[in-house]
C-alpha cells in the first residue's frame, strides 16, 4: 500500500498574483454573492477563485497513466463516499477490517484531489510519480475542463451524480461551515438557493456538470461509469458489483459468498465513518480552503433531506429548471427514498 498522500500547502509558495497573470484569469467573470467565497466562471463552470489556478494547472500539466482511476463529481454529490468505496474495492485484499486505513484516515487523505498536487510552485506534483498503480485521484472539474490525457488514455473515469435538491441543501450546509464565509456573516439559504437555480454555486451549473459526463458515459461506457448517489444508497450491492466490474476487479463468487461486498459497504457507510475519531475531529490536512474540518464531510447523507429546507414555491422553481435542463437526456433522479 502507498502511505496516505498528505499534501501540505505552503501558502508562502502560492504567489496568487503571478499565477493569475500567467493564466490570464483576471478577466474571467466573477461573483461574490456568497460572502467570503469569490467564484470565477471558467469554461462554463463556477469555481472557487482561489482554487482556479490549481484547476488550470491540472488541466494543462497532469499526465494520466492508463491504469489511473479518476473519480469525478460536482461538489456534494457523494465524493467522500465514492473515494472510500473505490479505495476499499481496489485495496480489498491488503487489509482486514480492523487495520483498514479508513479507520484512521479521512477518505480525502487516501484519495487526493488532483488540485492538491498543483498548488504554488508545483513541487508537490513530483510526488505523483511515486504513487504505485492503480493511482486513484479525484476532481470536481466538468468534462470540458478535464485534462486531455485523462480523456485520451485508457484511464477509467467514475462519475457520481446526486439529485439536485439534496445537493443544493448539502452545498448550503457545507458552504455555511466554511470559516471564510462564517467570518462574513454567512450566506442565507434563500441566497444560496437563488444562486443554485441560476447555476451560480460552486461547481455549477449543476445540469451542465452532470450532462457532460452523462453523455460521455453513454458514448463510451467502458471509459466513463455513471453512478447515482441514490442507487448506491438503495442498492449498494448491485452498484458495487457494477463498479468493481468496470474497474476491472470484479468480485469473485467466493468473495461474494464471504460477504466482502457487504463488509465494504458497512466500512464505508456514513454511520461508520462519521463515528470514527479521525472524522469527528481535526482539520483536513489536504485542504487548501481554510481550515476545513473533517466532520463537515459527514452530515445526514439522506435522500430527500431537501423537504426540510425548501418551501413548496422553492421546490416548484428548482423543479422547473431541472425539468427544462435535463429534458430529453433520459436522466432522472430519485428525490424521495423508496422505503
Ligand atoms: P465534497 O464534494 O465536498 O467532497 P461530498 O462528499 O460529495 O462532498 O458530499 C457530502 C455529502 O455526502 C453529505 O451529504 P448531506 O449534506 O446531504 O448529508 C454527506 O453527509 C454525504 N456523505 C459523506 N460520506 C458519506 C457516506 N459514507 N455515505 C453516504 N453519504 C455520505
What is the Cα–Cα distance from 324 to 328, expressed in whole angstroms?
9
For the chain, how far is it from start to end, CA to CA, in angstroms?
A: 39
The H or E element spanning position 158 is strand 156-161
Distance 25 CA to ligand 1 centre (A): 30
The answer to whether residue 11 is domain-embedded is: no
Secondary structure of residue 200 in the 3-state scheme: coil
Q: Is 299 in the pocket of ligand 1 (CB under 6 A)?
A: yes
Query: Which residue among 71, 72, 80, 275 has the greatest number of ligand 1 atoms within 8 angstroms of its CB, and so is best to mutate?
Result: 80
State the cell numbers at 122: 508545483
| Ligand 1 nearest atom to the CA of residue 233, by list position | 29
pTM of this prediction?
Answer: 0.94
The answer to whether residue 188 is domain-embedded is: yes
pLDDT band at 19 (very low <50, low <70, confident <90, very high): low
DSSP state letters, 110-152: HS-BGGGGSSTT-GGGGGGGGSPSSPEEEE---GGGS-HHHHH
The answer to whether residue 26 is domain-embedded is: no
Using alpha carbons, list the distances in angstroms from residue 66 to 70, 153, 329.
11, 5, 30
Q: Is residue 192 within 8 Å of residue 119, measured between CB atoms? A: no
Q: Is 81 in the pocket of ligand 1 (CB under 6 A)?
A: yes
The answer to whether residue 46 is domain-embedded is: yes
What is the Cα–Cα distance from 60 to 37, expressed in whole angstroms?
25
Per-residue confidence (pLDDT) for residue 18, from 0 to 100: 59
* Residue range of the domain that includes 154: 32-326
The answer to whether residue 294 is domain-embedded is: yes
Q: Is 230 in the pocket of ligand 1 (CB under 6 A)?
A: no
What is the Cα–Cα distance from 313 to 304, expressed in whole angstroms?
16
Quick one: average pLDDT of 163-171? 98
The answer to whether residue 140 is domain-embedded is: yes
Q: Is 170 in the pocket of ligand 1 (CB under 6 A)?
A: yes
Q: Is 91 in the pocket of ligand 1 (CB under 6 A)?
A: no
pLDDT above 80 for 199:
yes
Question: Domain total for the chain?
Answer: 1
By alpha-carbon position, which residue is closest to atom 16 of ligand 1? 170
What digits encode the pLDDT tens for the residues 235-259? 999 999 999 999 999 999 999 999 9
Distance 173 CA to ligand 1 centre (A): 11
The answer to whether residue 333 is domain-embedded is: no
pLDDT band at 288 (very low <50, low <70, confident <90, very high): low
> What is the CATH classification number for the domain harbouring 60?
3.40.50.300
Instruction: Provide the mean pLDDT of the chain.
Output: 92
What digits encode the pLDDT tens for the residues 289-301? 557 889 999 999 9
Distance 271 CA to ligand 1 centre (A): 11
Q: Is 80 in the pocket of ligand 1 (CB under 6 A)?
A: yes
* Range among 16-20, 202-206, 286-290 with highest mean pLDDT value: 202-206
The answer to whether residue 27 is domain-embedded is: no
Amino acid at each position: 500500500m502507498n502511505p496516505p498522500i498528505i499534501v501540505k500547502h505552503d501558502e508562502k509558495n502560492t504567489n496568487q498574483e503571478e499565477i493569475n497573470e500567467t493564466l490570464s484569469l483576471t478577466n474571467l467573470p466573477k461573483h461574490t454573492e456568497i460572502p467570503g467565497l469569490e467564484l470565477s466562471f471558467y469554461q462554463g463552470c463556477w469555481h472557487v477563485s482561489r482554487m482556479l489556478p490549481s484547476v488550470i494547472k491540472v488541466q494543462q500539466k497532469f499526465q494520466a497513466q492508463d491504469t489511473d482511476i479518476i473519480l469525478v463529481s460536482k461538489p456534494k454529490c457523494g465524493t467522500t463516499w465514492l473515494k472510500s468505496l473505490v479505495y476499499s474495492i481496489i485495496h480489498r485484499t491488503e487489509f482486514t477490517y480492523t487495520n483498514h486505513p479508513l479507520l484512521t484516515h479521512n477518505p480525502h487523505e487516501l484519495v487526493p484531489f488532483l488540485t492538491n498536487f498543483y498548488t504554488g510552485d508545483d513541487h508537490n506534483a513530483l510526488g505523483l510519480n511515486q504513487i504505485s498503480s492503480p493511482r486513484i485521484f479525484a476532481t470536481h472539474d466538468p468534462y470540458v475542463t478535464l485534462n486531455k490525457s485523462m480523456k485520451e488514455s485508457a484511464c477509467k473515469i467514475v462519475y457520481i451524480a446526486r439529485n439536485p435538491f439534496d445537493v443544493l441543501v448539502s452545498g448550503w450546509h457545507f458552504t455555511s461551515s466554511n470559516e471564510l464565509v462564517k467570518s462574513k456573516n454567512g450566506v442565507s439559504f434563500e441566497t444560496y438557493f437563488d444562486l443554485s437555480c441560476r447555476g451560480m454555486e460552486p461547481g455549477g451549473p449543476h445540469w451542465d456538470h452532470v450532462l457532460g459526463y452523462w453523455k460521455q458515459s453513454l458514448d463510451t461506457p467502458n471509459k466513463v461509469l455513471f453512478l447515482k448517489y441514490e442507487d448506491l444508497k438503495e442498492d449498494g450491492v448491485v452498484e458495487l458489483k457494477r463498479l468493481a466490474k468496470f474497474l476491472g476487479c470484479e468480485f469473485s463468487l467466493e468473495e461474494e459468498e464471504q460477504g466482502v461486498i457487504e463488509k465494504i459497504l458497512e466500512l464505508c457507510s456514513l454511520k461508520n465513518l462519521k463515528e470514527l475519531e479521525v472524522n469527528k475531529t481535526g482539520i483536513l490536512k489536504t485542504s487548501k480552503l481554510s481550515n476545513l474540518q473533517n466532520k463537515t464531510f459527514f452530515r445526514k447523507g439522506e435522500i430527500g433531506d431537501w423537504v426540510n429546507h425548501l418551501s413548496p414555491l422553492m421546490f416548484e422553481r428548482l423543479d422547473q429548471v431541472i425539468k427544462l435542463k435535463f429534458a430529453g437526456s433520459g436522466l432522472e433522479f430519485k428525490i424521495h427514498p423508496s422505503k
